[in-house]
Structure 1
């Protein structure tokens, strides 16, 4: 069964109230009993005092003029029976029911004490009034007891309990209704978010209004907006990659097919070998173009940064430089590394290697024979500086802002490049939160200087 947030909220609010409701009902019953006792105890006390007022001493004898009204003031509806006793503490009974039980502890002179007891197999509620009296040559304590059965009390307690219970259930029902209404109102912003997501499903440019939901839900909406922005960014990258690949691969593949067909129709073995050599060169160019397109796709900004880790950029620069030594020697180039022994930073090893490979490859391609190429890396405080300097033709000042665009090739560019190398480098530098600049060499040529932060790179902002 699917979980419901509304049902869970109601359960967490209502279910804890059930034991509270049971405790409240028990307290209501106890309060009703006490209220009934308080009401009838006043009548008991009034009856006892009325009897006590009619007790007199005449000629040394105790005379009790029992008022009839003292025993008729009780509620007659439930036919409760009334008992009384007048006697001395610890002595004989003067009048009344001699078996009427006394409380466990007698009251002090002038005090009144109420107590529950059982008399003739019936529950009774009694009161005892202690009167100090000089009688028989000494000070004695006269006790006036009045008791009644509890039918009227029980009926009143039940009526009060029912009334209290009805009130509590009405309050509980209203509270439950208000809770349900409140939960529905609280969940209304989520329902609006759901409706917007349904209506604009498939639209990655959608951004939800963070201020339209409660403070507790704002992190969720912010996370949704971030996810939608990253999705939009990834879709844009994919569309751009597909467009670039379709545009850039169509012509080379067509030429490759044409070259293969022409070579296939050749009869002269020497011409066939020449055609096959051209075919191999064209295939190499297509392979290089495809690899650079894939590298550019990997370098595009996106949320996938799981392969970020600590590495030594100086060591990586020395390794990449060593990889190109053979190619450089083939062109009589002086290729070497100068810089710090270690330049640690946090980054993506594969992308940084791709960046260095593109920089060194461009330098090797465009530096004329006999030239020099120097790769260096330095740790400078919170940053690492990477530099690739060559003695090639350089890049004119007016073109330096354009060479980072995809497929742009400068006027002095030759060879079989496709204009993606520096575009890949720029995306990788941006992805690592760094900066890149082009400078003129000390004599001739070009210096490409890259500055990267040493700390862990932040998430890529949309639009980079």
Structure 2
């Protein structure tokens, strides 16, 4: 399933934004309700204190001195209905709406709307009644918000209850919520606009990078400019530039390889052509026929080594289907051929190998052993010594081949692994591909190969280390 970066950014932005709006809406509703409730509750307290100011003590008796005009002022409100009642601690009504609910006289409503039975204020001790007591109730089939105050005059206790309908509160809450909602809608519109314009604008450098890469030819491996892209994708550009560097190196190596291969093939092919022409003019010339055979063998060997090098360089793909290989059996299969070459030149050949199996490609492993032994037998003079030792140490297969040939100077131990490199003082024919092939095969098997001086004091020792499992 293909993943859209634009869609993922949109989803990552929309989810938190939606949750933030829901949370902000809940918080806004709570704050608005608290602000409106606190403001109008304070107004109720003021009305209750206004009514309490008209309660007098005359000749030891409590009386409510509230004229009709003053009562009208107390009840005046353009939106809500105002109700009040003044009652003594003994239950006598001094004035107002006698049937106005008392706190605790019925199941009132708390702030969350759930039914809640409040304590009866009039039955509580006086020190509990000093603070205003708010409650929600119903009066004349209409929800109201009310407050009760307690006041002491002499030895008399009075209770002032003032209530009002909830129209002003509801309107104020609706206006506040409308304001919050309008702000939320504008913020959501701004966020949507930012998303619609901001995300494509932010992804524009990727589109430009895509267009630049699409417009390139296969030969254009020039590096991209990291400064032309945002910081977040500069590492991607640097990785691409590193890939381009490796591809340029590969292409350069391939061109050099083709040039070297063409140069190496040109000489034996020219010699082969000349030998054929000489043989045509002197069909019975045995020497010319021998030289022709030698030229054919040289060209065949060079072609085989070029194919082996190409196969070794593709070893990573071949290792996908790696299998368990009996390494000792590979050695045994080639011993007879080595003995023939050694006997022909009186070379003392010694082979010591332990039974060992390794996970790898059998064709490449055979090529590795064959190239190293061919070099050792080729460069060892008549009557010399060549030895092969194969064993397991610390979970690694250790292959060691040493000879008593002319040896390789220490400063050339790395150079001889370059393609077509040959020591200047070498007089024997060769292509300079044996050791490069061996190194490529060791690398694709996650192993290593190194050259050192022969322990016999003369010659060369090649040591190969390969892991038993990949």
TM-score between both structures, scaled by the size of structure 1:
0.73
- Helix, strand or coil: the match of 1:15? helix
1:359 — aligned with what? Answer: 372
**1:336 counterpart = 2:350:** yes
Aligned equivalent of 2:176: 160
- Among 432, 443, 453, the residue aligned to 1:419: 432
Counterpart residue number, 1:11: 11
SS of aligned partner of 1:419: coil
C-alpha deviations, 1:213-247, integer Å up to 9, x for none?
Answer: 77865664554345434433443343344334444
Match for residue 115 of structure 1?
A: 135
- Map Cα deviations across residues 407-444 of structure 1 (whole Å, 9 max, x no partner): 455655346x4332234335556776745336478476
Query: Would you say 1:72 and 2:73 are equivalent positions?
Result: yes
How far off is 1:22 after superposition? 2.5
Which residue pairs with 1:127 in the alignment?
A: 147
Distance 1:285 1:171 in 2: 82
Structure 1 residue 334 displacement after superposition: 3.0
Q: Secondary structure at the match of 1:31?
A: helix
Report the alpha carbon displacement of residue 42 of structure 1 after superposing the two structures with TM. Answer: 1.5
Query: Equivalent residues in 2 for 1:356-395 (5 A)?
Result: 356-367=369-380, 370-377=383-390, 386-392=399-405
2:459 maps to 1:450: no
- After TM superposition, give the deviation of residue 360 of structure 1 in Å: 0.9
What is the match of residue 108 of structure 2? none
The partner residue of 2:167 within 143, 151, 154 is 151
Name the structure 2 match of 1:437: 451
* TM superposition shift of 1:292: 0.5
Q: How many residues align?
A: 446
Cα distance, 1:46 vs structure 2? 1.0
Shift in alpha-carbon separation, 1:314–1:3, aligned structure 2, 3 A: closer
Normalized against structure 2, the TM-score is what?
0.72
Structure 1 residues 147 and 203: alpha-carbon distance in aligned structure 2, compared to 1, 3 A threshold: farther
Deviations 1:371-424 (A, max 9, x none): 432123577879876543334566689988875554455655346x43322343
Change (3 A) 1:228 1:64: same
Structure 1 stretch 351-360 or stretch 189-198: which is displaced more? 189-198
Q: Confirm or deny: 8 A CA contact 2:448 2:465 kept in the other structure.
A: yes
How far residue 116 of structure 1 moved from its aligned partner, in angstroms, is: 1.9
What is the deviation of 1:126? Answer: 1.6
The answer for the alignment partner of 2:303 in structure 1 is 290
Partner of 1:97: 97
Deviation (angstroms), 1:32: 2.0
User: Aligned to 2:218, what secondary structure does the other structure show?
Assistant: coil
Q: 1:34 & 1:440 partners in 2: Cα distance?
A: 94
- Flag structure 1 segments of 5+ consecutive residues without an equivalent: 458-464
For 2:293 and 2:46, the matched residues in 1 are separated by 124
Classify 1:255/1:206 alpha carbon distance in 2 versus 1 (closer, same or farther; 3 Å): same
Deviation at 1:162, TM superposition (A): 1.7
Instruction: Give the Cα separation in 2 of the matches to 1:127 and 1:408.
Output: 105
Aligned residue runs from structure 1 range 175-190, under 5 A: 187=203, 190=206
In the TM superposition, residue 75 of structure 1 has moved relative to its aligned partner by 7.4
Q: What's 2:240 paired with?
A: 224
Task: Measure the CA separation in 2 of the matches of 1:396 and 1:2.
Answer: 57
Contact kept, 8 Å, 1:373 with 1:388, in 2: the verdict is: yes
Aligned ranges 1:261-280 → 2 under 5 Å = none
Shift of 1:127: 1.5
